[in-house]
Amino acid sequence: MSSANLAYSVAAGEPAGLPLVLSVFADRAHLRGLMREDAEAAGFRIAQAADLAALLEGDARPLGDVVLLDCPRVAGAELAALARIDMRAAHSGAQLVVSTTMDALDDVFACMDQSGPQILVDPGRAERMIALGGVLARLAGLRLRELGEEDRLMLLRLTEQVGQIAERLERMSPTPPSGAGSADDSVFRFEAPRRDFAGSPAQAEDRLARAVRPPLPDPRLVRRIIRHRQLRARFFDGDLFADPAWDILLDLTAARAEHRRVSVTSLCIASGVPPTTALRWIGQMVETGLLERVEDEADRRRAFIALTDKAADAMARYFADLGTGAARLV
């Protein structure tokens, strides 16, 4: 075992000489081989490499620590296999990395509601290696939930920058914003404006709870802002505006005002960044309480992304503070 692989094993709490165990499932044989090579290069021991049908076998072998799965399309058999692996990974604690296509993204996202997988859209080998690096970090004890919000955002941006560098290198061969808030403020901070109330703290809290919230902005205005933001790509390199969080919030604000549901595929497109990047940001914003996953009660095979009530309230207050000046911004 190389020194790097040995370090991975020790960091992950494995006895020396016992690398982490990984399973590969993919119907496309050539891709299954590439996924296996990438996993072995990252120091994993391959427990099994099979097609998706193997997930439906009654005597299924243990998954191991990590599962790499490719599902470019979703039909009856694939749907059953995804549901099975999602449940097994959730129960066993295995880390799940799923690659798919833009066409199948909504179906895959809807199926994977228990295990919290990393979802990659048409990934290159560089993106897959970065995902495996994220798995190693989790298994080594790095828990993103324990980081401060600024550190989490910095790590997210660093991941995207590493990915861009890796993709450029692959093609060549055959700082977080700071504000005036306290150290405990979240980067994705949202709260009602503070007001001074007379009386006891309980009375002040009750008055704040009963305060009238402003309505959401006119969705036509929000759509105009989105269109004008998209015009920037005609004149500047898109990397100058790489953070998609605001575009995601704007799109979901307009959708909420229009009483329209937004699929994860639609939101990835609206973000203006590659789908895998958008999915990372959506996951981060769900964890911080800005966004939430909404199941379709009429069809369990569908799921949507929406603003949380607190995020909607923050956006409404933001546009209310802008007032009539919001129209002049565009």
Question: Which sequence spans correspond to the domains of the chain?
Answer: 3-141, 216-328
**Residue range 154-162: mean pLDDT, rounded:** 54
CATH number of 216-328: 1.10.10.10
What sign does the CA torsion over 82, 88, 90, 94 have? negative
**Per mean pLDDT, which of 167-171, 241-245, 313-317 is the most reliable?**
313-317
Helix 264-271, helix 245-257: angle, nearest 10: 130
Q: Which two tokens stand for residue 44?
A: 């994993």
Q: How confident is the model at residue 147 (pLDDT cuts 50, 70, 90)?
A: low
Q: Is 13 left (phi over 0), alpha (psi -120 to 50) or beta?
A: left
Report CA dihedral (143, 189, 236, 253) to the nearest 10 degrees: 110
Query: What pLDDT, on a 0 to 100 scale, did the predictor assign at position 209?
Result: 47
pTM of this structure: 0.72
The secondary structure of residue 288, as a DSSP letter, is: T
Q: Count Cβ atoms below 10 Å from residue 82 Cβ, excluding itself.
A: 24
Cα three-residue angle 283-284-288, rounded to 5 degrees: 120
Calpha distance 275→160 (Å, rounded) = 12
Which residue did the predictor score with more confidence, 240 or 311? 311
Burial of 184 (0-12, 13-18, 19+ CB in 10 A): exposed
**Partners of 67 in the β-ladder:** 23, 96
CATH code reported for the domain at 3-141: 3.40.50.2300
Residue 170 has pLDDT above 60, yes or no: no
Mean pLDDT, the chain, whole residue set: 78
Q: What is the pLDDT of residue 183?
A: 38
Lowest mean pLDDT among 55-69, 121-135, 142-156: 142-156
Structure tokens at 12: 């992950």
**Per-residue confidence (pLDDT) for residue 314, from 0 to 100:** 93
Reply yes or no on whether the pLDDT at 329 is more than 90.
no
pLDDT in tens, 190-238: 554 554 445 555 555 555 444 567 889 899 999 998 888 888 888 887 7
Strands 21-25 and 45-50: parallel
